[in-house]
Chain A
Amino acid sequence: GAGVSQSPSNKVTEKGKDVELRCDPISGHTALYWYRQRLGQGLEFLIYFQGNSAPDKSGLPSDRFSAERTGESVSTLTIQRTQQEDSAVYLCASSLGNTQYFGPGTRLTVL
């Protein structure tokens, strides 16, 4: 079946612009996660959605970052007034149980 998909695969933007990243989870997966991975670094947790529960936003680095999820489907991560330090790969994952299935990521470059 289809795996987790993300769009766009690459995004180049200018400092100060807003960007929106999209994640389509595996159908039926109740949990959805966003991570940030800087070059050569680990997986930095950003936000976690589980069913209809309030999302865990404890990993969002600043109020410029926000995310939404419509029911148990698509999620969007929005970064407002982008900064150069926001440059990274943004990974989305979904799960029904413990195993997280990752998408291919969106590579964001802020010039």
Chain B
Amino acid sequence: GENVEQHPSTLSVQEGDSAVIKCTYSDSASNYFPWYKQELGKRPQLIIDIRSNVGEKKDQRIAVTLNKTAKHFSLHITETQPEDSAVYFCAATYSGAGSYQLTFGKGTKLSVIP
């Protein structure tokens, strides 16, 4: 089955700096890679996702890049703000044949220092 490794487990940045979280996956058939954000005491929520037919996707201050050859993908947050402080989870799956089960990484706790 799929295995997703996520690094770092914790990350502290100064407000306004950039943050990068990296994930690697094991199953070359995986073709869908979402990122979830979980604020303290809240439920995880999807913030961005990417499919294997593209290499990069942006949404305002958030971007995700995918390297299929190396089997890794990354989340980039620019101009970080205190409200970006949360735990971020990456995930991977093969989207097809009617199965939508995700394999999650163990999470990265991001702290943005004002």
Residues of A at the B interface (CB closer than 8 Å) are: 31, 33, 41-43, 45, 48, 50-51, 56, 91, 95, 97-105
Contacts and interface: CB of A to CB of B under 8 A. Distances in A.
Contacts of B106: 41-42
Contact of B43 (A42, A98, A99, A103): A103
Contacts of A102: 43-45
Interface residues on B, range: 20 to 34
Contact of B100 (A43, A91, A95): A95
B44 A91 contact: yes
B109 to A, nearest CB: 8
Interface of B: 32, 34, 42-46, 49, 89, 93, 95, 98-107
5 contacts: A31-B100, A42-B104, A42-B107, A43-B89, A104-B42
Nearest to A59: B101
Residue of B49, B102, B103 ringed by the most chain A CB atoms within 10 A: B102
A103 B55 CA distance: 31
Contact of A99 (B34, B42, B89): B34
Given A31-B100, A98-B32, A42 B45 contact: no
